[in-house]
Amino acid sequence: MKEVMYRIVNLMRAAHSFAASPRIMAALGQLLRDPNAALEEVAVHLKHDSTLAARLLRIANSAAFAQSEPVASIEDAAALIGLQDVHRLVGAVAVDHFSLRNYPIYSFTGPHLRNNALLVALLMEELALSAHEDPSTAYTAGLFRSVGKLALAKLADEAAPVAPFQPADTLLPLVRWEKHTFGLTSNEATAAILKEWHFPPGVTQAIAEHYYPAAHGHPLAYLLNLAAHLADDLGHGLPGESTYWLATAEFASTSGIVPCNIQSATERAVIAFDRINRAMG
């Protein structure tokens, strides 16, 4: 039953019920890594989702991003607030869609998930340069690392009732519970979905491996482990995950990022997190 219910074809069916924003993020991320990308190309991708485009214009005209003149078009928004903030805001809108429902099978609410995804993404972006990683790739990995949880939760709603995850149950930690319940982990599910959506291989590999980065040695997986740990320390972790986070000192010795850089990156990420939350209303 598990092998049939939670195989990739059904995961993709569940994932395709999400808003188009994640797939737009993949295309936009590729553009942001191209120094010759034109604003017109960015606008074309954003306009593929009229709801997203309208939301971005409202946010660009909010108090948090307000310009001297009202922003009337997606092209103007990209030009005035900058590609980095466009990328951030598309991501924020994408995960905001996930906050419209709760996920009792995983013991977290939609807003809880949204805040975790956005904060981990911003931490990844701020830490990336010190870790010699691409900031937009790092941001994307942080933003969508829990998509598999959402798809598995949606499929579980359609199947026979299953026992929800119990964070206090030390005998059945998160990964073991997922394997028992679904036959695969949420990180494996996320990697499979993002691969189908043509996200960069580095993103899918980092997400698949970030609970156990030392077993694989993937630099972006180490960074994702650290960012999720920092979000947890800031009060925005997800239930059952803290057991998989490395000590900050261990990460610093492995990556070469010194603690003062981690601290300053965290402070910048928190400022950006608060700003985007204000803009989102």
pLDDT at position 25: 66
| Residue 64: strand, helix, or coil | coil
> What is the C-alpha separation between 54 and 52, in angstroms, rounded?
5
Q: How far, in Å, CA of 53 to CA of 183, rounded? A: 38
pLDDT at 31: 64
Residue 61 has pLDDT above 90, yes or no: no
User: Which H/E stretch holds residue 119?
Assistant: helix 110-128
DSSP at 7: S
Burial class (CB in 10 A: 0-12, 13-18, 19+), 14: buried
Query: If you search the block for the tokens 């003149």, which residue do you land on?
Result: 69
CA distance 199 to 201: 6
Domains of the chain: 2-280 (1.10.3210.10)
Q: What's the pLDDT score for residue 259?
A: 85
Mean pLDDT of the residues in the chain: 84
Confidence (pLDDT) at 36: 67
Q: What is residue 2's predicted lDDT score, i.e. its pLDDT?
A: 53
Tell me how far apart the alpha carbons of residues 75 and 43 are, in angstroms, rounded to a whole number: 6
SS3 call for 103: strand
Query: Torsion angle of alpha carbons 53, 54, 55, 59, nearest 10°?
Result: 100
Do residues 272 and 122 lie in contact, with contact meaning Cβ atoms separated by under 8 Å?
A: yes
- Rounded-to-integer distance, Cα 109 and Cα 47, Å: 30
What residues form DSSP beta bridges with 108?
103
What residue spans of 2-49 are helical by DSSP H?
2-5, 8-15, 21-32, 39-46
Q: What is the gyration radius of the CA atoms in the chain, in angstroms?
A: 18
Q: Dump pLDDT digits (tens) for 72-95.
A: 887 777 777 777 777 787 788 878
Label residue 1 by pLDDT band (50, 70, 90). very low
CA angle 99, 1, 103 (to 5 degrees): 15
**Predicted local confidence at residue 88, as pLDDT:** 82
Q: Is 50 exceeded by the pLDDT of residue 258?
A: yes
